[in-house]
Amino acid sequence: MIERASWRGGWRRGWLPEHRAAGGAAFSPLSLSPTAWYDPSDISTLFQDSAGTVPVTASGDPVGRMLDKSPLGIHVTQATTAFKPIYTVAGAIKYLLFDGVDDILASAATPFGASIANATVSVAVREIVRQTSGLFALSYTSGAGDSSRWTAACPWVDGNVYFDCGATAAPGRISGAVGVATGADFIASFDNSVANTRQFFRIEKVQIASDASGETVTTAGPLSLGAVNLAGNFGNQRIYGMVAKVGTVMTAGELSNVETWLAAKQGRVL
Amino acid sequence: MAYVGPFNLLLPAGVKQNGSDVFNILDADSGGSATFSVPCAVGGIAPATFWGARTLLEVETHNALTNMTTTQFKAYVDALAITRGRTPVGSITAFKNALIIGDGAVNFFTFLTQQGVAQVVSGL
């Protein structure tokens, strides 16, 4: 009812024209059948405790459970209050603030099954302090030699993005400069596909690095946000949202729509 | 639950177990025993001689940690253990006396520097 009235009188925030896919239809990440979708701007998906019994109600609350809005229900949790990101509201913008010390949200292990051969992930993020940071993982346990990694350090302390699928050397790893200053919002997208024999990542819709080799990663760890594992390398960052498609990759059009949709969560047009 | 903070915390390694037992009770969620997870040492060189954390604290817990005497704090923790169904802890004296609580407005790693230690770092 409110949205209909708003459509007649002009677009309200959240349904601005830039939030719409090409062709004019309202875009939702749900339309591309995501396998994981986290949206901190939807407070109904956030809980203070890991069991999901105490809802987040105000800026400054810890987040111990964030529901996955995809049909798969890969919810991410954190049972230690010290490790919980903080739900933060700044005007109309809402995000999770990860402290770069110990904060991480993680799913149960291997939420996508025994291996990942094709996946695309897009994340809306702002780096606050440049340090040895992980952004997310679709799988990772621990250690430099961990071949179960499907991870993004974005950026690492040296200003480079490291996108690792199964290894920390080529062809599993591709890297390149993030090219975004600390304190600025950006959208980072990662794609690895055996079917398309490619691996690439892009920042703000601009491809930064790629190769012509897709990797099959035998998974072992959980999906995580805010870091890649509990052993360290936590990101001091804001995360405004994340959309992942695993099993198949996003089309170019889907990825662009997701990136535009995520940038709107930052109050930007991309 | 109402929270304040976050705060930077630091605890000597010798008191870590006691601190973990106490935070197992203080944390409203089930994972409080893991609170002190950041290994620290002079120059960041292992082994860790301190353990750090950055965390929100419940208002009541912050008051208990900063304003209560050791005896009062022990009574508070014991009562909370019953309320939350957590394993009671013995003496809390070492933990209460050794815990350093820093201003959360200060970057955690700056806080560590101010305390004369650095994080023991591992690679990605």
- Of A71, A106, A64, the closest CA to residue A85 belongs to A64
Instruction: For residue B16, count other CB atoms closer than 10 A to its CB.
Output: 18
Q: For residues A235-247, b (16+ Cβ closer than 10 Å) or e, as one string?
A: bbbbbbbbbbbbe
Residue with token string 């010290």 = A82
Q: What pLDDT is stored for residue B64 in this prediction? A: 96
Contacts of B54 in chain A (CB under 8 A): 82, 99, 101-102
DSSP state of A221: S
Q: What angle do CA A219, A96, A83 make, to 5 degrees?
A: 65
Which B residues, 60 through 99, put their C-beta within 8 Å of a C-beta on chain A?
A: none
Across chain B, mean pLDDT equals 94
pLDDT at B91 over 50: yes
Pick from A206, A196, A58: nearest CA to A118? A196
Q: Would you place residue A233 in the very low, low, confident or very high pLDDT band (cuts 50, 70, 90)?
A: confident
Q: Which residue of B has its CA nearest to A97?
A: B6
pLDDT-wise least confident of A9-13, A32-36, A109-113, B111-115 = A9-13
pLDDT band for B123, please (50, 70, 90 cuts): low
Model confidence pLDDT, tens digit, residues A203-222: 999 999 999 999 999 999 99
Q: How far apart are the C-alpha atoms of B34 and A145, rounded to whole Å?
A: 25
- Residue to mutate among B7, B23, B29, B111, with most A CBs inside 10 A, is B29
Residue A195 CB: number of other CB atoms within 10 A?
Answer: 10
pLDDT at residue A8 tops 50:
no
pLDDT score, position A144? 72
Q: What is the pTM of this model?
A: 0.92
Does the pLDDT value for residue A157 go beyond 50?
yes
Task: Give CA–CA dist B45/A55, Å, rounded.
Answer: 41
Secondary structure of chain B: what % helix, strand, coil (to 5)?
45, 25, 30
Average pLDDT, chain A: 90
Distance from CA of B93 to the nearest CA of A (A): 22
Which of A163-167, A226-230, A238-242, A253-257 shows the lowest per-residue confidence on average (mean pLDDT)?
A226-230
Using CB atoms, pick whichever of B1, B29, B124 lies closest to residue A50.
B29
CA dihedral A118, A219, A243, A136 (to 10 degrees): -130
The residue of A48, A49, A56, A80 whose CB has the most chain B CBs within 10 angstroms, and thus the best one to mutate to test that interface, is: A80
Q: Is the pLDDT of residue A25 over 90?
A: no
